[in-house]
Structure 1
Amino acid sequence: MAMPDEDDPTELVERARAGDQAAWHELVDRYAWLIWAVARDHRLSAADASDVCQLTWLRLAEHLPALERPEKLHAWLVTTARRQSLSLIRSKVSRPDIAVLAEPVDSAEHDVMRGVRDEILWRAVNSLPRKCRLLLRLVAHNPELSYADLGGAIGLAPGSVGPEKHRCLATLRRRVVAAGLTQEAAG
């Protein structure tokens, strides 16, 4: 007899469809970090990321009765959070804030150097193993998370989170240096 897959949300989705509030809360508990990470990966502020999270959960509530592949909820949430993030970004670009317009414009050279630095850094981050990328993004965007929360999110024992974070940062540092980004250029 096959054991049910604990990562498969199908049963929770079915219970939530039937109106089981506990199942809905368990879905939120299980996937809130994921939606937050997607929003923050789009470099949204905490307030904007919170809006994206709320909108993503609202979309799920609206689409839950018709969700065809509940076992693919993870992918559905990622796609929806990404779309909500991009929609929010587009709305801000189409009506920029006055404060942004009042900021002094950097020199073209500075903009180019910042772009090069960012490209090197993001290539180094994206070259890390998946677990490192996820851990570092969660730490960067959710500094309030405990090691127990972080460990639960990525499948590590709480006591392993600190050493794993240290290894991931050391690997990132080596890759950035190997790519030619010096500490002065990183600032």
Structure 2
Amino acid sequence: MVNPPRSIEALVAEAKAGNQDAWNAIVDRYAPLVWAICHSYRLSPADAADVTQTVWLRAIEHLETLRTAAALPGWLKTTTRNECLRNLSASARTPWQFNEVTMDVRSDSPALDAELLAAERRAAVREAFAQLPPHCQRLLTLLMSGDDVPYKTISSQLDIPVGSIGPTRSRCLDKLRDCPALRSFASRDARNGE
């Protein structure tokens, strides 16, 4: 069985203590966010790799000064945007010239905002999932595996009656929705009418 993802607070605390596995988990979790921002600025693959390397180097340097672990994704976004702009400027291209040729690279670009929001939601779901009780994690993992595991198989693996799988799933999903990591998205989506 796959271990559930650890919370960002736990990962940052362990990484600060020198745990390389925790640092690797942070990089694995947020690398898609960093790459999405680089992609939105239409950097060449080499420039995107340079920006990404610089962002992670700065993250290592500043990890000790991070006051709130939950602020790490926002810090990564800001640092990546700044590095992308610095890279464009160093290449004698301003964002405005670049904008005319390929795309809008302003920080309020709707495409960039959508990609960042999607990455934040995925991270929040992973964090909320890690806070669920183990029986909910096991049940939801089996149900969401994409393999269409029959209820009879789930019943035997988890030692629960077939008739209680649906109601238990419903309770587990309710617990997932109630996790603090997801509440901000639920209230934001309700305000935006999504």
Q: Match of 1:16, SS?
A: helix
Quote the Cα distance in structure 1 between the aligned partners of 2:115 and 2:82. 24
1:62-116 deviation per Cα after TM superposition (whole angstroms, max 9, x unaligned): 001111121111101000111111111111117xxxxxxxxxxxxxxxx9xx959
Give ranges in structure 2 of 5+ residues lacking alignment.
126-143, 147-194
Deviation of 1:130 (Å): 3.1
Deviation of 1:127 (Å): 7.3
The residue that corresponds to 1:84 in the other structure is: 83
Correspondence 1:126 to 2:125: no
Q: Output aligned runs, 1:102-113, within 5 Å.
A: none
The residue that corresponds to 1:19 in the other structure is: 18
Q: Provide closer, same or farther for how the CA distance between residues 43 and 153 of structure 1 changes in structure 2, counting only shifts above 3 A.
A: farther
The residue that corresponds to 1:70 in the other structure is: 69
8 Å Cα contact 1:38-1:81 kept in structure 2: yes
Deviation of 1:30 (Å): 0.3
8 Å Cα contact 1:56-1:81 kept in structure 2: yes
8 Å Cα contact 2:37-2:80 kept in structure 1: yes
TM-score, scaled relative to structure 2 = 0.48
Give the letter for the 2:110 counterpart: N
Give the letter for the 2:66 counterpart: L
Quote the Cα distance in structure 2 between the aligned partners of 1:67 and 1:132. 21
Q: Provide closer, same or farther for how the CA distance between residues 48 and 127 of structure 1 changes in structure 2, counting only shifts above 3 A.
A: closer
Q: Structure 1 segments of 4 or more deviating over 6 A?
A: 152-155
Aligned length: 115
Deviation of 1:39 (Å): 1.1
Quote the Cα distance in structure 1 between the aligned partners of 2:101 and 2:90. 27
Give the letter for the 2:13 counterpart: E
Q: Match of 2:47, SS?
A: helix
Q: Provide closer, same or farther for how the CA distance between residues 31 and 126 of structure 1 changes in structure 2, counting only shifts above 3 A.
A: same
The residue that corresponds to 1:42 in the other structure is: 41
Quote the Cα distance in structure 2 between the aligned partners of 1:127 and 1:17. 34
The residue that corresponds to 1:51 in the other structure is: 50
Give ranges in structure 1 of 5+ residues lacking alignment.
1-5, 95-110, 136-151, 160-187
The residue that corresponds to 1:28 in the other structure is: 27
Quote the Cα distance in structure 2 between the aligned partners of 1:15 and 1:58. 17
8 Å Cα contact 2:14-2:22 kept in structure 1: yes
Q: Match of 1:27, SS?
A: helix
Compute the RMSD of aligned alpha carbons: 3.9
Q: Provide closer, same or farther for how the CA distance between residues 15 and 132 of structure 1 changes in structure 2, counting only shifts above 3 A.
A: closer
Give the letter for the 2:114 counterpart: R
Deviation of 1:9 (Å): 0.9
The residue that corresponds to 1:93 in the other structure is: 92
